[in-house]
Structure 1
Amino acid sequence: DVTGLAKADGHPVRSTFPKEGGILDSGCWAVSKASQKLEEAHVFIDYMSQPEIQALMSRKVGTAPTVKRELTGLSDDEFAAVSSDIDPVVPRYDLYQNRSDWLNQKWTELIVG
């Protein structure tokens, strides 16, 4: 995560994972229906999904790997810097679809006051 990168630059910060588990958050790659480069997009996604590339991303960008830990070759310290063996807390993404009006209202109340 960005905290690890800031720490590597000498900033007095640290990243921690709660004993209950970290929040499962993941980015994703998607191919637009309108893409004119479908084959190239698939090649890119296949490349980025390789265990050795996921390990490189963990080491250089500070992201958690999307493949199984055992496949990455990350040391215990490297893995602990970007992820955790504790089962993650999975956000209720279904609420974004099923309760979007309520979520938007609550978010507005929190921000506006």
Structure 2
Amino acid sequence: MTIHSEFNACMHREYCINLEKHYVYYKAAALKIMPRFIPDRIRVLKDKFGDFPFRGAGVAAGEHDCMVNKWGAVSVTARDGKRLGLKLDEFEPISFRENPAYAQEIAESAS
């Protein structure tokens, strides 16, 4: 196996793993259960503002670090420093991390 093909295999594997995390996250949202993986960084698809009466300063389109609760609800820091919650169709997850609350729940149920 050449270095080039090894690199391509690794990239393909990482892509597949990331796709699986997307699938697990969106499936958990649809079933209203706690996701195993939660977004760590997201891409906001277009400028977003809060709903009335919480219009605020909004969030610019582009990549942002995000805060996520144990159920997978995503919020980002708006231009005015306040948090703005986003709906699933308003962003794309870029990277994921394991949900510590999910791991804790699994550990508790196993004991």
Pairwise TM-score range, normalised by the shorter structure: under 0.3
Which is greater in Rg?
Answer: 1
TM-score, with structure 1 as normaliser: 0.24
- The structure that is strand-richer by fraction is 2
TM-score, with structure 2 as normaliser: 0.24
Q: Which has the higher contact order (CA 8 A, sep 6+)?
A: 1
